[in-house]
Structure 1
Amino acid sequence: MTGKREVKSSVKDEKLIEMRREQMIQGAVKLFKEKGFHRTTTREIAKEAGFSIGTLYEYIRTKEDILFLVCDSIYDEVLNRLSVLAIEDGTIAGLKSAIQQYFSLIDDMSDEFVVMYQESKSLPKDALKYVLKKEMEMVALFEKGLQSCADSGELRIKQEDVKIAAHHVVVQGQMWAFRRWALQANYTIEEYIEVQTDQLFRGLVGE
């Protein structure tokens, strides 16, 4: 697992740090989506979050810190939700449940995903490297689930194709965030999940 990248704070109360940073994340996502990272100021983020610019700088050092927190919160939520599921139980049912949870999370955090992929290029190199490693950890979860199903005989998939199938699951989930404006005319999130999982597993099990 990737070591946690520290965002320095002059405040010592961990619960208060978590609460304030969550407020920053919510405010920043709204502004980054509307204006973009570079056109948004830290003063605007502080105002949107509901506190002063002085208070904001007690919890972060730079605007890039806030963007990093946005990205990190997404991956933490994905990994937290998926880690409690039976994704490695060797059954298609367990894998489908994990895919449903992941796609539903993207529906809940669509704005965050859009901001992350549009603006992550603005992160410092060390922060971007960390975020990309977190992305690969997410892919690895689905890779393990697919491999478990292949080992149990529930999926017909070549060893060399497991990794690309895991990337496929991750990207198809993210497509809901980027293309929801067009897809919602024809699909609810539940219908989208059903169509995507049906297409994926029909190919993998050879039906």
Structure 2
Amino acid sequence: MPKVGRREEILNIACKLFSQKGYHGTTIRDISDACGILSGSLYAHINTKEDLLFEITDRGAQAFLESLRPIVESEATAEEKLKRALKAHIQVIEQNLEAATVFFHEWKALTNGRRDTIQEKRDQYEALWGRILSEGAAAGEFADLDEKFARLLILSVGNWLYQWYRPGGDLSAEEISERFADMMLKGFRVKKGEGKP
């Protein structure tokens, strides 16, 4: 197993603390103590505490985007894309539970344009979900949905997972995504006799 670099170790520890205590509840002293170094020595690796928060949230935003983009750009049906996309979303959370907690809960603490950078990536991510829903409606796979609320429903369900999902529970992340997708698709599908004229 490759040795984790010092900065990466600091990021991992900061991520854990931010997820447990919140960004504002975590001090530089907390981070340096957990790293086993003096607070002054921490500044040899970072400029500010916010640098750590930005890097954690930016990595999170990138992980979500990179998991979804190839699915949206594939030749699959909209229904299959939705299933795969929800699975990918939930797997990103499962594999990065502490970072996902920080991403969803703490990103608004960012300042100086950094919040705008994350917001832009969140907007791109939502737009990709919107493409799946639009394609499904255009192809007659989905009913004439209120796209905004359908997107909010999907992301609210997926994003809330960090609050209650625990690895090793009764259901795997994949099983959870399949159950959510099946429930949503029953509501999204065009009912017989209701297709486009």
Aligned to 2:80: 93
Q: 1:178–1:87: structure 2 CA closer, same or farther, 3 Å change rule?
A: farther
1:147-166 alignment runs, 5 A limit: 147-158=134-145, 161-166=146-151
Deviations 1:56-84 (A, max 9, x none): 43443211111111111101111112222
TM-score, L = length of structure 2: 0.79
Larger deviation, residues 129-138 vs 85-94: 85-94
* Match of residue 203, structure 1, among 187, 190, 193: 187
Mapped pair 1:73 → 2:44: no
Q: Which residue among 29, 49, 52 is the counterpart of 2:15?
A: 29
Q: Is the 2:141–2:190 contact (alpha carbons within 8 Å) kept by the matching residues of 1?
A: no
2:116 is aligned to 129
Query: Is the aligned partner of 1:144 residue 2:131?
Result: yes
* Larger CA deviation: 76-85 vs 46-55: 46-55
Assess, with a 3 A threshold, how the Cα gap between structure 1 residues 157 and 55 changes in structure 2: closer, same or farther: farther
Letter in 2 for 1:97: R
Separation in 2, partners of 1:77, 1:29: 15
AA aligned opposite 1:155: F
Is 1:173 aligned to 2:170, yes or no?
no
Q: Give unpaired runs (5+ residues) of structure 1.
A: 1-17
Residue 126 of structure 2 contacts residue 151 of structure 2 at CA under 8 Å; is this kept in 1?
Answer: yes
Residues 90, 148 of structure 1: 8 Å contact kept: no
Structure 1 residue 177, shift from structure 2 partner: 0.7
The one-letter code matched in structure 1 to 2:88 is Q
- Give the partner amino acid of 1:26: N
- In structure 1, the partner of 2:195 is none
For normalisation by structure 1, the TM-score amounts to 0.76
Q: How many residue pairs are counted as aligned between the two chains?
A: 187
